[in-house]
Structure 1
Amino acid sequence: MDKFFNPKSVAVVGASADEKKVGGMILKNLLESGFKGKIFPINPRRGIIQGQRAFADLQEINSPIDLAVIAVPAEKVIEIVLQCGQRAQPIKNLIIISAGFGESGDVGREREKQLSFLVKQYQLKIAGPNCLGMINPWKNFNASFSGALAKSGNVGLIMQSGAFVSAFLDWAQTDQVGFSAIATIGNKTFLDEIDFLEYLAKDEKTKVIGLYLEGIKRGKILCQKIKKISQKKPVLLLLAEGGNKTQAAAVSHTAALAGESLVAKKALERSGALVFSKVSDFWLALVFFSQFKLPVGQKILLITNAGGPAVVAMGLAEKSSLVEIFELTKEQKKILKEFLPISASVNNPLDLLGDADEERYRQVLEKIKFFPQVGAGVILVTRQKQTAVEKIAKVIEKIQGECEFPLVPVFMTNVATTKKLNFKNFSCFEEALIGLEAGIAFSQKPISAPSKIVFETNSSRSQKTKKIFLQAQKDGRVGLFYKESRQLLAEYGLTAAVSQDWVQGEVFSADFFPAVLKVDDPKIIHKDVQRGVVMGIENQKQLEKEAERLKKFFPQSRLIVQPQQEIDLEIILGIKKDPVFGQVVLAGLGGVAADFLGEKLFFFPFLDKGVVETRLKGSILEKIFQKKKISLEKLAEEIEKLLCLAEENSWLKEMDINPILVYSHRDFVAVDVKVLF
């Protein structure tokens, strides 16, 4: 992968003297970036292009070539790739800039198939097609058609959109941000984000990695890579949120609550990634990680010369779920009062007054840098007549290097002034807060303690459950009947309420009353909504009457009878098979509340087995269980069992266990189970 960012020789196929053409722009950027390696412009007309000798084709060059950048019409790309593979010294690393492939319809998809054949035949590595190119400022290497220059720094980008790269390069000039490497992956038909993520993880110049992805194919592998990388480097993802094609067709509560974009977000966050849906937040977080030390705790101390902005800032901080307000001790206040004016407010915010000069800031910062338990300091400055902005900036810059925690400047001045200061500054507290929250989220990641109970996979058990599925499939059904679902749960130690099929004329024993009568049909998912459930049936006569009524509405469906259970607390557990991340287990409040109340927790077999109890800490479910004096360990055990069920039964498409009745004095009981395949 190093040759995509640090080649010794590059061929630009489609090079042009016209700098407005893509091939012309790429050649110009390579030359102007100061690239020290050999450059071979390829153009059938030969001649001199932008001061460089051009070649008719790749076969004309006898020297080894590390990288070919291909910027020709899509219909000519296959021929060029074939030349790369057939050379006496094959070119193994290719960047295909050209559009007109999988994104453009059937013809483009056919071209990608042809490329796939050549990749295998000649063992090629291809970035793209339909991408902007690659940039490595540290090596003066710009093999892209971006219009903006990138200065060297510590931000590594992997982007599926070249337009975002162009925008970020412009913003970087204002925000004092430099880049270690920029990879654009376009259609990512061959090399994808995982390949470049591995490269940036090992790159010593890269401090923070940012990705923009429009789609994910290898979800589990991506999560596993991020989980490892994020132990050392922050990984930030910008993901587009939108409607899901499959969600419109979701039939169970679990499927409706676990849309594809939400599953992706939860899986990536569980892996340690910081996921953003807003471009501005993503960029501000990148800026923070690039420019500042990590917070050493959640508590922030605000130092300011401006009352109004400080009040607004503290209000925002108090609303944050990640940031806490640092409270000065009596001793700390005493230290500060020794040199601050009597009218200064020695609290948090620490108001130095409007006439504060650089010396007052220096005195305060020299003291607070030794205050224990400060996670981060924010210095909010507004320009007043006597405010020496430039001198204050120099004081902050000096003490930033001496301070264990980050000192984050918020200079509310014009852009020209802050650019002149030549150090990173946020223009308002809201921007700084986004960065601080990202820094805290990364540095304060909880450590997952192993669970007391881990359920291992069991092949003989999964063979039994597969037989249940195969029989239902043979019968032409889309899901399981309740008895089959109950049998499936029982294999994993999960309890479902007893039931009995309703048969006309059959007399039920007294212990079945009060009873619940239900339609038992995999095609009828929301039985309560479709009036397929009757509760509170007191006797045999009422049962027969209600059964006769239900049979009129559901003539082809089976009916089952269950003893009615006492209800204290209802939860929902479920499984959904995601096309990218595999089986997902969902937990939340159950019953009718499943649709609109409370948080929904997501668990992934490949990430969460053995650590469920830790994941439940701090959740709404934990608070409710504590209030009801119900063991959280019991819930963790149920979810661990369900993770094992999900992992072993890949045929399962959706499962809804809603509700599960939860008790402090006995086992949880599922009273309704839907299983679809």
Structure 2
Amino acid sequence: MGRFTGLFEPERVGIVGATDRDGSIGRALVTNLDEHYDGEIVPINPGRDTVLGYDCYPDVASAPSIDLGVVVVPPPAVLDAVRDLGEAGTRNVVVITAGFGESGSEGAKRERELRAIAEEYDIDLVGPNSLGVMSTPAGLNATFGPDIAREGSISFMSQSGAFITAVLDWANEEGISFRHVVSVGNKAVLDEVDFLRAWDEDEGTDVIVGYLEGIEDGQAFVQAAREVTSETPVVLVKSGRTDAGAQAASSHTGAIAGSEEAYRAGLDQAGVIRASTVEELFDYARGLSGLSTLESEGVAIVTNAGGPGVLTTDAVGDSSLELASFEDATIGELTDSMPEEAAVYNPIDVIGDADVDRFRTALEQALADPNVGSAIVVSAPTAVLQYEALAEMVLDVRESYETPIVTCLMGGSRVDTAEGILRDAGVPNYFDPSRAVAGLDALAQHDEITGRAADDPTAYDVDRERARSILERAADRTDNRLGVESMDLLDAYGIPTPTSEIVDDPIRARDVAEDIDADVVMKIVSPDISHKSDIGGVAVGVAVDEVEDTYEDLVARARNYQPTASILGVQIQEMVDLDAATETIVGMNRDPQFGPLLLFGLGGIFVEILEDTSIRVAPIGETEARSMVDEITAAPLLRGARGREPADIDAIVETLGRLSQLVTDFPALVELDVNPLVAGPDGVQAIDLRATVDTEEL
């Protein structure tokens, strides 16, 4: 466990605020530790000589040295208690007490002071506002929850203490076991990133699961989780997906909720498997903790009940798995060994009078098929079938095959003994066929995550100082916005733009058009007018002899629309052939937790109507950029659907990479839209630009 040995494997635990008063948290902590913990328990309270039979010390200084300090005193006394622990050399502290960042400005101030004390004494601090920590191998229940968890290989973190108590009570009934449990509380010092890294190094942890209401540093989380999930599966429930949920999360733990789009993109890039419900969270975890790698996505179903077999088949169809197609030889063997009424084409229905031997024959023949990567044994109770014997058979067959097997032994109390046999051997059993499939699907998702090609962002040759000077122009604007007058920003980062110039009189406009020597596009340039086409501020296909009149017309329309608007001039731009091209959009919005979110999708006038976009957290490499292009619904248009000539996908991918570098290099860029980015067979052209700049970040 390394750094966190003292947190999860302490030899001596001190409870600052321990008491034997009925109904108190201080009493609950001592009681819980006394029940299973073999280490030394040290109560600390100046008002007690003993607590529940243990000698009680008046202060930290007079107590023996403490590996783990648990603080449960009123909020005003917490700071002194943690400082005393730091002075005494305690480097692991859990603050149970609430009344900090979740409770208003005074609490937030107190939390900042608590963080400063922890930094001063190099304390790994959990909380405040924490239920506590638990480690089943050490028998450590340093929480005020009612029970210690069963011992297993799932490590569990939660931002809600109440969630932990409810889950552990339910999990004990479900036979779900845990290794380490931590209530992170307000995360003043230690957060989800710290526990991801610690449990990834813990040989006894097979799966990391968690309930989170917010992630403070999305960039750090993505980086850490990418490393962790390359080996250790991580499954999370993230609450606050809706606006109302986000507000509730903020009032509960002081979390600042980022956008759901940011979390979706960030967790996916990090390799985190995201669950929607508690049940799903632990269905995934059980599958991942007890099963081996899938060799293929083909699933074999062996059942004695037609209806549940069909439900299982439907669930497979809804997942990332597929129903295995048996080889002819397998079908022949099943036909010879099964009753005439049996179904042998998958799902294999061994019919209702099947005994354990018939189940064994069908399961072994299915597992021997090269197209089968996993199997689900689905059974309804019958008078001729003993579930305990069926469970033993599954374990016996598993010894001969490396193929993952899950079971769905349906029923009530008659399943209990068989389920215990399977659980002890690491085979998950589910009542609902769809949940059994979910357990295997999580395994498939993790296999896909571990097989992803990891690539670092390309470092392009760019003119950073030129870009900085362009961004600094925003300081002269009242709203810090830049528009097409700043297209050179893209050019500085190697993103292609058409020949253009901004002019402030009609004669110069004609001169520029003559130099282009073709029909041109003319656009009003104003930081106060965002949607130029909506007010008639764009003219397309303007001939040279019409340029002067068009200039006057565009300026007049802008003045009529918004008399107080700042008119910087008119952009004269080389026309781009749109007949063989597709209008796309690339852009960025800076999220408070995850930083720059890159966007790609169908652009032009359709972007806000169709909302066909993909999102990633920058910086990204080529693999992520290419996946952004591939996953939009309109991707076939770019690949040449219905006889269209394919767009230059490599040019789009490079543009996304260059934009990723730009927005990473300049945190001052708050928003940026390139719409449209015209993608054709010969490359891309950025036609328009809008950006918002926080000049204090330059």
What is the TM-score when the length of structure 2 is the normalising length?
A: 0.88
| Counterpart contact for 1:150–1:169, Cα < 8 Å | yes
Aligned to 2:529: 524
For the pair 1:447 / 2:449, whether they are aligned, the reply is no
What secondary structure does 1:525 align onto? coil
Aligned to 2:101: 102
For the pair 1:399 / 2:415, whether they are aligned, the reply is no
Aligned to 1:251: none
| Counterpart contact for 2:619–2:660, Cα < 8 Å | no
Deviations 1:559-614 (A, max 9, x none): 43445543231111112222222223211111233235365333444442576346
Which moves more between the two structures, 522-531 or 100-109? Answer: 522-531
Q: Note the 1:236-635 alignment, pairs <5 A.
A: 236-243=235-242, 260-320=259-319, 322-414=320-412, 417-418=415-416, 421-422=419-420, 423=422, 424-445=428-449, 446-448=451-453, 454-456=458-460, 458=462, 461-484=463-486, 486-501=487-502, 503=504, 505-506=506-507, 508=510, 509=513, 516-529=521-534, 532-535=537-540, 539-540=546-547, 541=549, 544-555=552-563, 556-558=565-567, 559-562=570-573, 564-567=575-578, 568-597=581-610, 599-608=612-621, 612-613=625-626, 616=629, 620=633, 622-627=635-640, 628=644, 629-635=646-652
Give the Å deviation of 1:669. 1.6
For the pair 1:72 / 2:64, whether they are aligned, the reply is no
| Counterpart contact for 2:304–2:350, Cα < 8 Å | yes
* Whole-angstrom CA distance in 1 between matches of 2:582 and 2:635: 13
Aligned to 2:680: 663
Aligned to 1:254: none
Aligned to 1:5: 8
Which moves more between the two structures, 210-219 or 381-390? Answer: 381-390
Pair 595,302 (structure 1): closer, same or farther in 2 beyond 3 Å: farther
Q: What number of residue pairs does the alignment pair up?
A: 657
| Counterpart contact for 2:326–2:345, Cα < 8 Å | yes
Aligned to 2:86: 85
What secondary structure does 1:668 align onto? strand
Aligned to 2:691: 675
| Counterpart contact for 2:294–2:443, Cα < 8 Å | yes
Q: AA paired with 1:441?
A: Q
* Whole-angstrom CA distance in 2 between matches of 1:323 and 1:309: 18
Give the Å deviation of 1:130. 0.5
Q: AA paired with 1:440?
A: A
Q: AA paired with 1:525?
A: S
* Whole-angstrom CA distance in 2 between matches of 1:533 and 1:282: 52
What secondary structure does 1:108 align onto? helix
Q: AA paired with 2:431?
A: S
Pair 455,623 (structure 1): closer, same or farther in 2 beyond 3 Å: farther
| Counterpart contact for 1:134–1:142, Cα < 8 Å | yes
Deviations 1:195-220 (A, max 9, x none): 22222111111000112222222222
What secondary structure does 1:454 align onto? coil
* Whole-angstrom CA distance in 2 between matches of 1:382 and 1:345: 16
Deviations 1:102-157 (A, max 9, x none): 11112112212322332233332211100011101111111001113311100011
Q: AA paired with 1:345?
A: A
What secondary structure does 1:642 align onto? helix
Give the Å deviation of 1:496. 2.3
What secondary structure does 1:444 align onto? helix
Q: AA paired with 1:30?
A: L
Give the Å deviation of 1:302. 1.4
Give the Å deviation of 1:369. 2.3
What secondary structure does 1:612 align onto? helix
Pair 223,81 (structure 1): closer, same or farther in 2 beyond 3 Å: same
Deviations 1:641-664 (A, max 9, x none): 222222222221111011111111
What secondary structure does 1:676 align onto? strand
Which moves more between the two structures, 141-150 or 438-447? Answer: 438-447
* Whole-angstrom CA distance in 2 between matches of 1:526 and 1:243: 29
* Whole-angstrom CA distance in 1 between matches of 2:531 and 2:282: 43
* Whole-angstrom CA distance in 1 between matches of 2:164 and 2:271: 24
Give the Å deviation of 1:35. 0.9
Pair 283,497 (structure 1): closer, same or farther in 2 beyond 3 Å: same
Q: AA paired with 1:69?
A: V
What secondary structure does 2:406 align onto? strand
Q: AA paired with 2:110?
A: R
Pair 381,593 (structure 1): closer, same or farther in 2 beyond 3 Å: farther
| Counterpart contact for 2:675–2:689, Cα < 8 Å | yes
Give the Å deviation of 1:350. 1.2
Aligned to 1:255: none
Which moves more between the two structures, 199-208 or 617-626? Answer: 617-626
* Whole-angstrom CA distance in 1 between matches of 2:572 and 2:417: 74
Aligned to 1:147: 146
Give the Å deviation of 1:479. 1.7
Deviations 1:502-542 (A, max 9, x none): 64643634778765443423343333456644556674556
In structure 2, runs of 5+ residues without a counterpart are 248-256, 423-427, 694-698
* Whole-angstrom CA distance in 2 between matches of 1:548 and 1:115: 61
Q: AA paired with 1:359?
A: D
Which moves more between the two structures, 605-614 or 286-295? Answer: 605-614
Deviations 1:399-426 (A, max 9, x none): 2343212111112212563466313311
Aligned to 1:15: 18
What secondary structure does 2:26 align onto? helix
Pair 519,410 (structure 1): closer, same or farther in 2 beyond 3 Å: farther
* Whole-angstrom CA distance in 2 between matches of 1:208 and 1:99: 29
What secondary structure does 1:391 align onto? helix
In structure 1, runs of 5+ residues without a counterpart are 249-257
* Whole-angstrom CA distance in 2 between matches of 1:591 and 1:385: 67
Deviations 1:220-243 (A, max 9, x none): 222222111112110112212434
Which moves more between the two structures, 420-429 or 594-603? Answer: 594-603
% identical aligned pairs? 27
* Whole-angstrom CA distance in 1 between matches of 2:333 and 2:99: 68
What secondary structure does 1:435 align onto? helix
Q: AA paired with 1:549?
A: R
Aligned to 1:184: 183
Which moves more between the two structures, 64-73 or 591-600? Answer: 591-600
Q: Note the 1:21-170 alignment, pairs <5 A.
A: 21-32=24-35, 34-61=36-63, 63-87=64-88, 90-170=89-169
* Whole-angstrom CA distance in 1 between matches of 2:124 and 2:369: 53
RMSD in angstroms over aligned alpha carbons? 2.7
Which moves more between the two structures, 282-291 or 8-17? Answer: 282-291
| Counterpart contact for 1:572–1:658, Cα < 8 Å | yes
Pair 44,329 (structure 1): closer, same or farther in 2 beyond 3 Å: same
